[in-house]
Amino acid sequence: MASSAPTPPFGGSPIRALLWDVDGTLAETELAGHRPAFNRAFADEGLAWHWDVDRYLPLLRISGGRERMRTFARDFGHTLSEAQIERLQQRKQRHYEQLIRSGAVGLRPGVRRLILEARAAGLAQAIVTTSGRASVQALLEGAAGELAQCFAFWVCGEDVDRKKPDPEGYRQALERLALQPEEGLAIEDSRNGLQAACSAGLACLVTLSDSSRWEAAGEGAQDFAPALAVLDGLDDPPPPSPLVSRCPTEQVTLRWLHSLRGAA
């Protein structure tokens, strides 16, 4: 299925802001953090549910933990009240924060380097994520340390009415930064994130995560076609995914990103 996200004009405008996704982009949180946290919450609640990797990966097409639980319950004939879903979400959140603060999940290679390079160059940076604010805070405190101060603000799941692939979060970030879409660059890992960024008029770099490599293998490279580039990571280590376009410098740098935009 081809992506419905429009391809924004990449033009020659210099990049003035980096807008970062969190889960799968800053860190590989989905399989190592969120999935075990859900399973611990299910056990706490006495539910005979267990989301193994094969079960969890398709659920990542759905943005938001509550939404995933509602979909799973509906598709498999389970009945959960909204009160149960909310209780499960709160339990899951506590487990997730404990996992992250324990150091179970670190930043992806190259993330710290590029954030610091962007700060030194005077670029604005913000987070745009469907994750809750508490999840973002746990990751930044547990894995990112001093990097938290590099972000002007966070647009989180609580801040929008419509989550990715809707562009609301990115449009809100651009408004707060007082920038035009052609002045920003989104960094994402998933099809939903790419669609949200492109629908907001942003150029988008995709760094495939453990979960989106599965998505790419199933859906094909055409769903990532609107991306400025599709890489295995910011340090672009081998071996590459079959659909990956390589970064010639072996590291994603601001200079290379500007060159992709024709603004070097």
**Better pLDDT: 141 or 263:** 141
Q: Respond yes or no: is residue 44 known to be catalytic.
A: no
Among this protein's residues, is 21 annotated catalytic? yes
Task: Report percent pLDDT > 70 for the chain.
Answer: 89
Could you tell me which of 10, 5, 55, 6 has the C-alpha nearest to residue 262? 10
Which residue, 108, 115, 123, is CA-closest to 23?
108
- Which of the residue ranges 19-23, 44-48, 102-106 would you say has the lowest mean pLDDT? 102-106
Kindly report, residue by residue over 211-236, the tens digit of the pLDDT. 888 877 766 555 788 999 999 899 86
Where do the structural domains in the chain lie, given as residue ranges?
A: 17-28+106-260, 30-101
pLDDT digits (tens, 9 = 90+) for 175-204: 999 999 999 999 999 999 999 999 999 999
Tracing tokens 């990112």 back to the chain, one arrives at 144
Q: Is 189 exposed, middle or buried (0-12, 13-18, 19+ CB in 10 A)?
A: buried
* Annotated catalytic residue within 21, 166, 189, 236: 21
- pTM listed for this prediction: 0.86
Domain 17-28+106-260 has CATH 3.30.1330.40: no
Per-residue pLDDT for 121 more than 50?
yes
pLDDT computed for residue 63 by the predictor: 84
Map tokens 């509550």 to a residue. Answer: 66
237 in Cβ contact with 222 (< 8 Å): no
State the pLDDT at residue 10.
Answer: 52
30-101 has the same fold as 17-28+106-260: no
What is the spatial distance between Cα 31 and Cα 29, in angstroms, rounded to a whole number?
A: 6
pLDDT for position 114: 97
pLDDT score at 6: 55
Instruction: List 204's β-bridge partners, or say none.
Output: 186
Computed over every residue of the chain, the mean pLDDT equals 89
Give the fold, CATH level 3, of 30-101: DNA polymerase; domain 1 (1.10.150)
The neighbour count for residue 142, using CB atoms within 10 Å, is 20
User: Minimal CA–CA distance to 65: which of 88, 99, 32?
Assistant: 88
